[in-house]
Structure 1
């Protein structure tokens, strides 16, 4: 970092503090321009590349970008682009405070004329959000995105317009946070990463207004996972640690285990093996000590088997196939076949691990199963993993089984 100019570090820190991806930064810069200036800005992908170069210190932004940056961040140009040393990265609590202090869409209307709601309505809404989670086990993102967001919007509208007691209001905020989590997850699976990130932020705001640290950590962890996979793994690391901090040391064991897994995955994607392995050990430790108390319904799926799969994925990402293959082979031999998206995703990791272990024939056999299973799954995550598998197998095209697979499953660019 010492070779990167202070202004470049400052640009990166200011963006991360707001939990924005570089793609969202490009969008915000374009929105900050007046109509005349916007007509001369490049396409979004070109601006995205420019942002990467600026944050790496390769080039200094030229007009009109310093002005646009200042508008977006609300800072003076001398402050933002000074050559003085940039401040160190702020701790997770400050990052979260920055996020929550900006705008709050969850403010009840002053003259609410909706019906009065009570505990019965909350129970019905909790049942609906859990039905969406269960549906997500067997359906994919593009199948669920419309009903998920319809339910989320209805919950927000109810909070803004209805009449309720303080306790019911807190319960509504928690329910909005839970709807935001499943809707954000579904949007990510449908390939709508910006929509997913914005939805997670709405949920984080709701969770904090409700004073629910476990739910806030759960949502920030989901955002960390989204950013880790679709943007910058280093940003994912910062967000994952923020999620762990938000959940706190007294969060339910499964919540702590999942937070630690998000940390491990982000470090693995960033190529930080030791940090990833330490985080995996912390996840195991958290799950090994159940509290005996009731845990939130959204943690229903977190168990030893899922944690083992997460561990194997991290090992695969770190190119340690001899650790990954036995775990994946064992778990997948008894995995619920009705969860076709998850099964296809996990098979993709096994195929990659086998390729890394120099077992191309076995990798091809697993890939065939994965591709066949995922043919009708409306999931962007599965489509992406299918491309990863085929790309990883290309060096083995001289093997007949692999060559046949690639010829039979040519993936669109």
Structure 2
């Protein structure tokens, strides 16, 4: 953790910035100013994207043209692709700017087909913003964004966005411990989403996770079987890291999580395979945020396999990675508590790392 601070990868939590400044006889602002510069760089990058689209629109000399729409849709896809490797607070700033840009065209002069495409883009952006808010545990903001995404989905008659809205609510309920509500929402999402779509598959996987948290083994395995059958004919997408396009490899990750929650020894094999794939480049770029979450799955699976020492080491790497979103902190706490019950000597270090994660 200290190496990470001193390399400038993360700003330390209080009171360490003040103590570092005292040691080096300088101010906190001067010592940690690179974070401010990095934020300015992020904001400038987001503005550059929008300025490029606005220039294309002005060149076309219309309120909205085909080129501007295509670039906007590409930007939406790029943001969804950035989700697995970008901190949610950083991504949220970019998404907000794009939502503001889209909102300026809602009442612009355009054809009905163009208007629908604008509404669909706004729906995807609102959905992604909601996901970032939930990652940050900003539930009221997330709920407001989801309501907007659902309204836009209904307006555009876009069943997949509507399905994703319900699936995202199910995920939030699951992370909040309301497993019955998560189950009901996941099943509702399957009724709404087009059969075989990414939203439908993801909702089915979410149903399996909810059953696992409820301790229902047969229902859990039934849901996993349905996901497997849905995924089997799917090709690997061009951009497997796209958050709203189901990558067949995702099913292994969800299987690892789900089996680890019901204490199935088979979870270890899945979890090891998922982590290796996420850190390789065989099917897309590395996905470090997903890899951090996969380590928590592996730690739980190792506990089920009675390998507590390796579980502790694996959990420590995940917790100190700086890559876990707040929506995953409860999963880290669950691993720490399970290890504490084993009375391992490494648990004190793990608990301290967990509290440091929460403080930061």
- Identify the TM-score tier after normalising by the shorter chain: 0.7 to 0.9
Q: Determine which of 343, 353, 357 is the counterpart of 2:305.
A: 357
Distance 1:282 1:304 in 2: 13
Measure how far apart 1:298 and its partner are: 5.2
Alpha carbons 1:255, 1:299 under 8 Å: kept = no
* Number of residue-to-residue matches in the alignment: 293
TM-score by structure 1 length? 0.64
Residues 249-264 of structure 1 aligned to structure 2 (within 5 Å): 249=195, 251-252=196-197, 254-264=198-208
Measure how far apart 1:202 and its partner are: 1.2
Tell me what 1:270 maps to: 214
Equivalent position SS for 2:277: coil
Tell me what 2:53 maps to: none
Alpha carbons 1:237, 1:266 under 8 Å: kept = yes
1:150 aligns with 2:94: no
How far does the alpha carbon of each residue in 1:176-206 deviate from its partner, in whole angstroms, 9 at most, with x for none? 1111121111111122122112212211221
Tell me what 1:203 maps to: 149
Residues 230-309 of structure 1 aligned to structure 2 (within 5 Å): 230=176, 232-249=178-195, 251-252=196-197, 254-290=198-234, 302-309=246-253
Runs (5+) with no aligned partner, structure 1: 1-114
Measure how far apart 1:293 and its partner are: 11
Alpha carbons 1:155, 1:172 under 8 Å: kept = yes
Measure how far apart 1:282 and its partner are: 0.9
Distance 2:307 2:324 in 1: 30
Q: Determine which of 239, 255, 260 is the counterpart of 1:316.
A: 260
Question: What root-mean-square deviation, in Å, do the aligned CA atoms of Structure 1 and Structure 2 show?
Answer: 2.9
Distance 1:355 1:248 in 2: 38
Q: Measured at CA, do residues 410 and 182 of structure 1 come closer, stay the same or move farther in structure 2, by a change above 3 Å?
A: closer
Measure how far apart 1:223 and its partner are: 1.8
Distance 1:153 1:231 in 2: 33
Residues 377-396 of structure 1 aligned to structure 2 (within 5 Å): 377=323, 379-396=325-342
Alpha carbons 1:141, 1:188 under 8 Å: kept = no
Measure how far apart 1:143 and its partner are: 2.1
Alpha carbons 1:256, 1:286 under 8 Å: kept = no
Distance 1:148 1:317 in 2: 33
Q: Determine which of 319, 327, 330 is the counterpart of 2:273.
A: 330
Distance 2:189 2:111 in 1: 29
Q: Measured at CA, do residues 132 and 359 of structure 1 come closer, stay the same or move farther in structure 2, by a change above 3 Å?
A: same
1:168 aligns with 2:114: yes
1:121 aligns with 2:68: yes
Distance 1:235 1:368 in 2: 31
Distance 2:328 2:171 in 1: 16
Measure how far apart 1:408 and its partner are: 5.8
Alpha carbons 1:148, 1:186 under 8 Å: kept = no
Tell me what 1:7 maps to: none
Q: Determine which of 339, 345, 353 is the counterpart of 1:400.
A: 345
Tell me what 1:218 maps to: 164
Distance 1:407 1:228 in 2: 26
Q: Measured at CA, do residues 130 and 396 of structure 1 come closer, stay the same or move farther in structure 2, by a change above 3 Å?
A: same
Q: Measured at CA, do residues 278 and 144 of structure 1 come closer, stay the same or move farther in structure 2, by a change above 3 Å?
A: same
Equivalent position SS for 1:333: helix
Q: Determine which of 82, 92, 95 is the counterpart of 1:135.
A: 82
Distance 1:224 1:209 in 2: 22
Distance 1:257 1:283 in 2: 6
Distance 2:296 2:324 in 1: 16
